[in-house]
């Protein structure tokens, strides 16, 4: 309660926000370089050549594509949606740069304006906040701030395309090492067609001097967004990484199939935070982003630590299971999640913790909130292998239901193959307490405000894991997303 940004600090400004519709729904008129609709080997060759990629990468993409054509989309998840026509999607859409951008001042003014509208003034960020930002529009990185300052300590933070050009050995060594191209349907699609993303490398013993941040934005119509993020923390390195997302309001669905790979070597620590606010679709379930994402960390070294913190309020459908492979002895994996489904949103999300090394430890805290006709499923895997002597897991899944039409489901999978493993699982489902609401209202607190207060309180354990600015953002988002879900 010391920081003003915990659940206790819902300000008037936030209350005012509650009266807004999805506010990032504007479209920016950018000149876009677009590939024809549909997917085939030629499109992949086109993407690869547009990016001036080396042959090995094109080969990797093609292997992925050929494998993908043998796969079918998963159907086990607890969500329903119409078939996706993968031949009706535009796989490459880039805001056309006038020329290659050398510094922030040269970024297309319309682009800058768009980011200003989003509240991410790239220039301001650079000067004031000390957060380095990589801004990605329609899968292409348009600007990365603070590069020089980071370079002084040896940190590489750039767009994925740039990394392919300038640090090909690193990319080649680690690309697909955590999420192989044939991992699953969507990861495989991503491997074939990814257009950009962020790349981050923290050298041995370096504590990254600032938060790194990527801002994703889908702007062009009928495009898929397939970005790929790769973060490598060498021995003893530390980095905190933030990811935020928005998209314009459109009445058709947009596909977002991203892959994030994290690699933490001995004593390294990666903290990855996401505030996901893709357009959720309207009240009747029209439009919205399909958020089908594969995120995985490899704690490959001794005492390595990887934490995922996510606040998921957007997307019409969310399908993601950020996980950690705990390979190094004494390595630690954490997953803190708030997933909110309102309107007709559906989420099937959770975490996978795979314990391989000795004395590995994982924690999963999941808070699911369902309002309106929202359906929220926690699906998690705790897998303790034979070698994982002394491994421990603690899982806590809490669900909060608002209204009578929402649903919450918990599907934990636990596989323990050694005698010394310890797994604790706690789960609770509560309706937003009639009793809690009455208590607040009896004290004079109006109903909507009371709901927001109770929900924020419910999520507090997760919010306190977020960096300060993100915690504020997350609270605002929850309040906005819950608007109209009471009564």
Partner 1 sequence: MLKIEELHASIEDKEILRGVNLQLKPGEVHAIMGPNGSGKSTLASVLIGREGYQVSGSVTYEGQDLLTLSPEERAAAGVFLAFQHPVEIPGVGNMYFMRTALNSLRRQRGEEELDPVDFLALAQEKMKLVEMDQTFMNRSVNEGFSGGEKKRNEILQMAILEPKLAILDETDSGLDIDALRVVASGVNALRSEGRSMLVITHHQRLLDYIVPDQVHVMTAGRIVRSGGKDLAVELEAHGYTGTQEADAGRLSTAGISR
**For binding to partner 1 (CB under 8 A), which residues are involved?**
1, 6-9, 433-436, 438-447, 449, 453-454, 456-461
Report, in Å, the least distance between residue 10 CB and partner 1. Answer: 8
Would you say 156 or 454 has its CB closer to partner 1? 454
Dihedral angle computed from the Cα positions of residues 248, 251, 253 and 256, in that order, rounded to the nearest 10 degrees: 0
Residue 422's DSSP bridge partners are: 392
Would you say 142 or 459 has its CB closer to partner 1? 459
Would you say 1 or 128 has its CB closer to partner 1? 1
Report, in Å, the least distance between residue 460 CB and partner 1. Answer: 3
Instruction: Read off the tokens for 454.
Output: 């109770």
Residue 310's DSSP bridge partners are: 274, 337
Would you say 111 or 368 has its CB closer to partner 1? 368
Would you say 46 or 427 has its CB closer to partner 1? 427
Would you say 6 or 481 has its CB closer to partner 1? 6
The CA distance from 234 to 231, in Å, is 10
The CA distance from 187 to 400, in Å, is 31
Contact 109, 99 (CB under 8 A): no
DSSP codes, 24-77: T-------EEEPPBS-SHHHHHHHHHHTT--HHHHHHHHHHHHHHTT------S
Contact 90, 224 (CB under 8 A): yes
Residue 237's DSSP bridge partners are: none
Would you say 396 or 418 has its CB closer to partner 1? 396
Angle at 155 between CA 150 and CA 157, to 5 degrees: 80
Would you say 70 or 442 has its CB closer to partner 1? 442
Report, in Å, the least distance between residue 255 CB and partner 1. Answer: 35
Report, in Å, the least distance between residue 243 CB and partner 1. Answer: 24
Contact 231, 261 (CB under 8 A): yes
Residue 137's DSSP bridge partners are: 140, 217
Report, in Å, the least distance between residue 274 CB and partner 1. Answer: 21
Residue 364's DSSP bridge partners are: 335, 395
Report, in Å, the least distance between residue 444 CB and partner 1. Answer: 4
Report, in Å, the least distance between residue 197 CB and partner 1. Answer: 35
Report, in Å, the least distance between residue 436 CB and partner 1. Answer: 5
């Amino acid at each position: 309660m010391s920081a003003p940004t915990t659940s206790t600090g819902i300000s008037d400004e936030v209350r005012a926000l509650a009266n807004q519709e999805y506010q990032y729904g504007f479209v920016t008129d950018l000149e876009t370089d677009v590939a024809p609709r549909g997917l085939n080997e030629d499109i992949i060759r086109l993407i690869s050549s547009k990016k001036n990629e080396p042959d090995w990468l094109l080969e990797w993409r093609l292997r992925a594509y050929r494998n993908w054509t043998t796969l079918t989309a998963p159907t086990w998840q607890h969500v329903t949606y119409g078939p996706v026509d993968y031949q009706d999607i535009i796989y490459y859409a880039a805001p056309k740069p006038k020329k290659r951008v050398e510094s922030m001042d040269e970024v297309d003014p319309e682009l800058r304006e768009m980011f200003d509208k989003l509240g991410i003034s790239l220039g301001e960020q650079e000067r004031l906040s000390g957060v380095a930002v990589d801004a990605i529009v329609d899968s292409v990185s348009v600007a990365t701030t603070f590069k020089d300052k980071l370079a002084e300590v040896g940190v590489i933070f750039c767009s994925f395309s740039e990394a392919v050009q300038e640090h090909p050995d690193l990319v080649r060594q680690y690309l697909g090492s955590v999420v192989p191209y044939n991992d699953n349907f969507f990861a495989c699609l991503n491997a074939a067609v990814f257009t950009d993303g962020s790349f981050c490398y923290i050298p041995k013993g370096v504590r990254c001097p600032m938060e790194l941040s990527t801002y994703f934005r889908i702007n062009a119509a009928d495009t898929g967004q397939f970005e790929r993020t790769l973060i490598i923390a060498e021995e003893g390195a530390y980095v905190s990484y933030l990811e935020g997302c928005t998209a314009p309001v459109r009445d058709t669905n947009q596909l977002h199939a991203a892959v994030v790979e994290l690699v933490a070597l001995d004593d390294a620590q990666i903290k990855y935070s996401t505030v996901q606010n893709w357009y959720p679709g309207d009240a009747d379930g029209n439009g919205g982003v399909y958020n089908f994402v594969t995120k995985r960390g490899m704690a490959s070294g001794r005492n390595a630590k990887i934490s995922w913190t996510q606040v998921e309020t957007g997307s019409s459908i969310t399908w993601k299971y950020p996980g950690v492979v705990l390979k190094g002895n004494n390595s630690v994996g954490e997953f803190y999640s708030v997933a909110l489904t309102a309107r007709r949103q559906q989420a099937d999300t959770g975490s996978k913790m795979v314990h391989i090394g000795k004395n590995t430890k994982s924690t999963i805290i999941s808070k699911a909130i369902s309002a309106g006709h929202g359906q929220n499923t926690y699906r998690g895997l705790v897998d303790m292998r034979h070698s994982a002597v002394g491994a421990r897991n603690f899982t806590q899944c809490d669900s909060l239901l608002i209204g009578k039409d929402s649903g919450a489901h918990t599907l934990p999978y636990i596989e323990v193959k050694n005698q010394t493993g310890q797994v604790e699982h706690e789960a609770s489902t509560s309706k937003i307490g009639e009793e809690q609401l009455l208590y607040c209202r009896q004290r004079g607190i109006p109903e909507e405000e009371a709901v927001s207060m109770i929900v924020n309180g419910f999520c507090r354990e997760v919010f306190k894991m977020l960096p300060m600015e993100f915690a504020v953002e997350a609270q605002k988002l929850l309040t906005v997303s819950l608007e109209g879900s009471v009564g």
